[in-house]
Structure 1
Amino acid sequence: MTEQRDKDRLEKRVRGLRGAVDVPENTAPAIIAATEGLLREIVARNKLVLEDIISAFFTVTPDLNAAFPAEAARRLGWVDIALMCATEITVPGSQPGIVRVLIHAYSDREPIHIYLGRAAQLRPDLT
C-alpha cells in the first residue's frame, strides 16, 4: 500500500490551494465551525486525501482572536500535517471577520480555490 501511495505521489505535483470564509462572531465555536466548513469544502471539491496534504497556513483578521483556526484542522484529523496560524495585515477598508488558508498538497489536477460567504467578495474572479 505504501509503495503504491509513493508511486501515485510521484505522478502528482505540489499544488497551492487557497480559500477563505467569513466568521459571524469572535468566539471559539464560530471560528472553529467556519474553518471546519471551509476545510471540508476544499478537501471535497479538490478530491484530496489526508495523506496528500503537506501543510496549511491560516491567517485571521485582527478582530478574530478567540481561537486558532488550526484547531479545526486538528479536529478533522489533520494530526500529522504541519499547521501555522498568523494575523492578517491590517489594510484600510479590508473586510473584518475572515479566516484565510493556503494549503499545500499533492494533486494531479488544477486546484479549485474556495471562498465561502462574504469571503467570496475577496475573489469575485473565482465565483
Structure 2
Amino acid sequence: MLVRGIRGAVTVDENTPEAIFRATRQLMETLIMRNDLDVNHVASVLLTMTPDLNADFPAKAVRSIEGWQWVPLMCATEISVPGAMPLCIRVLVHVNTEKSQQDIQHVYLGDAVRLRPDVADAK
C-alpha cells in the first residue's frame, strides 16, 4: 500500500462551535464515503481553519465519528493571505491505500468548491 493524501474543504456561515462541528463532520463523512475509507488505514489527519474561525477545534467533530477517536489529529491556523476565502475549514487525510492518485476523491463543499473547481465536481 502507498500513503496518499485526500484533500477537502468546507465553509461555514458563522464562527460558532456548532457551525464548525457540523461542517467538519459533514466534510469528513462525505470524504469517508466517496473514498470508501477504512479508518484502520488512516495514518493521520491535519485540519486547518482560517484565522476568522476560533470558536472550537474541528478535531472534535472528527473524533465523534465512530472509530476515528484513535486517529492522530492536529489542528492549525491557515495562513492569513489577503483576499483568501474566509470562514473555511480544510482537511488533509493521510491514508494507506492501493488507489492511484487519479482514483482519490477530494471533497470541496459550500463556497469551498471555488478553491478547486477542477476536482470539486469529480462526484
TM-score (norm. length: structure 2): 0.91
Q: Which runs of 5+ in 2 are unaligned?
A: none
When the two chains are superposed, the root-mean-square deviation of aligned CA atoms in Å is: 0.8
The aligned counterpart of 2:111 is 118
Letter in structure 1 aligned against 2:35: N
Q: Find the residue that maps to 1:79 and give its secondary structure.
A: helix
- Specify which of 17, 42, 56 is matched with residue 67 of structure 1: 56
| Structure 1: gaps spanning 5 or more residues | 1-11
The total of aligned residue pairs comes to 116
1:29-108 equivalences under 5 Å are: 29-77=18-66, 78-108=68-98
Deviations 1:62-90 (A, max 9, x none): 01000101000111131111100000011
Taking structure 1 as the reference length, the TM-score comes to 0.88
* Alignment correspondent of 1:5: none
Q: Does 1:18 align with 2:11?
A: no
**Percent sequence identity over matched residues?**
49
The amino acid that maps onto 1:70 is A
Distance in 2 (CA, whole Å) between partners of 1:48 and 1:108 is 11
Tell me how far apart the structure 1 counterparts of residues 98 and 11 of structure 2 sit (CA, whole Å). 29
TM superposition shift of 1:13: 1.5
CA displacement 1:104-123 (0-9 Å, x = unmatched): 01122231100001000001
- Which 4+ runs in 1 deviate beyond 3 A? none
